[in-house]
Homo-oligomer: A and B are copies of this chain.
Amino acid sequence: MTLETANRIKKVRQAAAAKEIEAVLISQPENQYYLSGFDGEGYLLITPQQTLLATDFRYIEQAKQQAPNWELFQITGSITDWLPRFIADLNIASLGFEAGNVTLATYRKMVKALDESQPALNLIPLEALVESIRAIKEPEEIEFITIAAEISDSAFEYIEDIIRPGMSEEDIAWQIEKYMRDEGSQTMPFDVMVASGPNAALPHAKPTPRTINTGEPIIIDIGAKFEGYASDLSRTICLGTPDDTLNKIYEIVLTAQLTAIDKIRHGMTGNEIDRIARTIIGQAGFGEAFGHGLGHGVGLAIHEHPTISKISAETISDNMVFTIEPGIYLPGWGGVRIEDLILIENGKAKVISKARKL
């Protein structure tokens, strides 16, 4: 087990102890990988003394290789069958589980199985216990995210070279993906977005056969993945001369983005940061056209803690990595989004993504 993993497990134990929970059952895939290095389907169980990994035949050899220091437990059948056996000898009084990952159907099976086998056991729903730990990145994680960002930055340079009027959104998206994969990116953390003209009014548009034209906005949103860690980058470009609307909207979004990045400080809450950009866009008269949050954490998952939005009370601190991505979307016309990935370092935002802006 690497030092990092041991330290992560220690943090989980501390967080559980603070809630007076003896053992924690981990089912969320990225949390499982973060704590054990195992990326097959399974469950982790962390007690004050032990670390156990439950998985089935399909993944048991993989688990031996990826998580050599975990005690393996081979499961078969439904959770109703194996869960009581899994925890039978551990003598625990309380078991936390991930309420944001376990479905109601699975929860009902767990309750049924444990009510019969261990009626005294206290089953406690947890929210974001490991996710909160993951929000603070270690140096190696920042290094991996930075490499992923370098891949998406260079993909953006590449696409600026080859993009021409008459290419389809789908074709451009596929050229970008091939480039990033050839440059060492793992499977895409999310599907490449290329949205041109009116399609750019859809914040999460999928690439279509539409061919791109001069003068219109084209939103490109891409991410690469390195050693499991993602990057996330959006740029809005225009071939030929942008019209007045595009110039005006672009300037507002850019000002909102740069101002938010500049004003971020350790100790602010997600909603305070969101408000900086939202106020600028609102005062320019486009508040209704910026209907999504300002940003989200990025790491093993493409969307993780912290959340930077109107309703986020999360406090920002050093070594968090998240996006700042205001946008303005006008149905029928198109949209503009500008997104960078930032790291909180010495209490301020350091921009990780380097791709040039329009």
Question: Which residues of chain B are within 8 angstroms of A241 by Cβ–Cβ distance?
Answer: none
A61 and B291: CB pair below 8 A?
Answer: no
Contact, CB under 8 Å: B102 / A58 = no
Given known pairs A57-B291, A125-B105, the reply for A62 and B204 (CB within 8 Å) is yes
Hey, what's the 0/1 contact readout for A160-202 against B, CB within 8 Å counting as 1? 0000000000000010001001000001100100000000011
Most B Cβ at <10 Å: residue of A56, A103, A181, A291? A103
Contact between A62 and B105 (Cβ–Cβ < 8 Å)?
A: no
Complex CA distance for A329 and B59, rounded to whole angstroms: 11
Which of B39, B178, B331 is within 8 Å of A61, CB to CB?
A: B331
Complex CA distance for A62 and B311, rounded to whole angstroms? 24
A201 contact set on B, CB distance < 8 A: 61
Contacts of A188 in B (CB 8 A): 187
User: Would you call A267 an interface residue if the criterion is a C-beta within 8 Å of the partner chain's C-beta atoms?
Assistant: no
From B39, B103, B191, A187 is in contact (CB under 8 Å) with B191
- Give the distance to chain B from A230, nearest Cβ to Cβ, in Å: 16
Q: Which A residues, 89 to 144, have Cβ-Cβ distances below 8 Å to chain B?
A: 99-105, 107-108, 125, 127
Query: What's the Cα separation between A86 and B202 when bound, in Å?
Result: 23
- Chain A interface, >50% SS class: loop
Q: Is A48 on the interface with B (CB-CB < 8 A)? A: no
Contact call B59/A204, Cβ cutoff below 8 A: yes
User: What is the CB-to-nearest-CB distance from A171 to chain B, in angstroms, rounded to a whole number?
Assistant: 11
CA distance A117 to B108 in the complex (A): 25
Interface residues on chain A, size class: 35 or more
Q: Is there an interface contact between B102 and A103, defined as CB atoms closer than 8 Å?
A: yes
A292 with B204: CB separation less than 8 A: no
A40 lies within 8 A of chain B by Cβ: yes
Given A57-B291, A78-B311, A191-B187, A62 and B104 touching (CB < 8 A)?
Answer: no
Using CB atoms, name the residue of chain B closest to A182: B174
Q: Is A77 an interface residue (CB 8 A)?
A: yes
Question: When A105-B99, A108-B99, A311-B78 are in contact, do A61 and B127 touch as well, CB less than 8 Å?
Answer: no
What is the CB-to-nearest-CB distance from A228 to chain B, in angstroms, rounded to a whole number?
Answer: 11
A223 within 8 A of B: no
Contact A103 B108, CB 8 Å, known A203-B57, A205-B62: no
CB distance from A180 to the nearest CB of B (A): 12
- C-alpha gap A321/B205 in the complex (Å): 31
Distance in angstroms from A231 CB to nearest chain B CB is 18
Interchain CA distance A57-B61 in the complex, whole Å: 45
B174 and A181 contact, CB distance less than 8 A: yes
Cβ contact within 8 Å between B99 and A204: no
Taking the closest CB of chain B, its distance from the CB of A297, in whole angstroms, is: 17
Which residues in B have their C-beta under 8 angstroms from that of A329? 61
Interface residues of A in 198-226 (CB under 8 A from B): 201-206
- Distance in angstroms from A207 CB to nearest chain B CB is 10
Given contacts A59-B203, A61-B329, A61-B331, 4 further A-B contacts (CB under 8 A): A61-B201, A76-B291, A99-B105, A178-B178
Across the A-B interface, the 5 shortest Cβ-Cβ residue pairs:
A57-B291, A99-B105, A58-B203, A99-B104, A100-B105
Q: Which residues of A are at the interface with B, using a C-beta cutoff of 8 A?
A: 39-40, 56-59, 61-62, 76-78, 99-105, 107-108, 125, 127, 174, 178, 181, 187-188, 191, 201-206, 291-292, 311, 329, 331
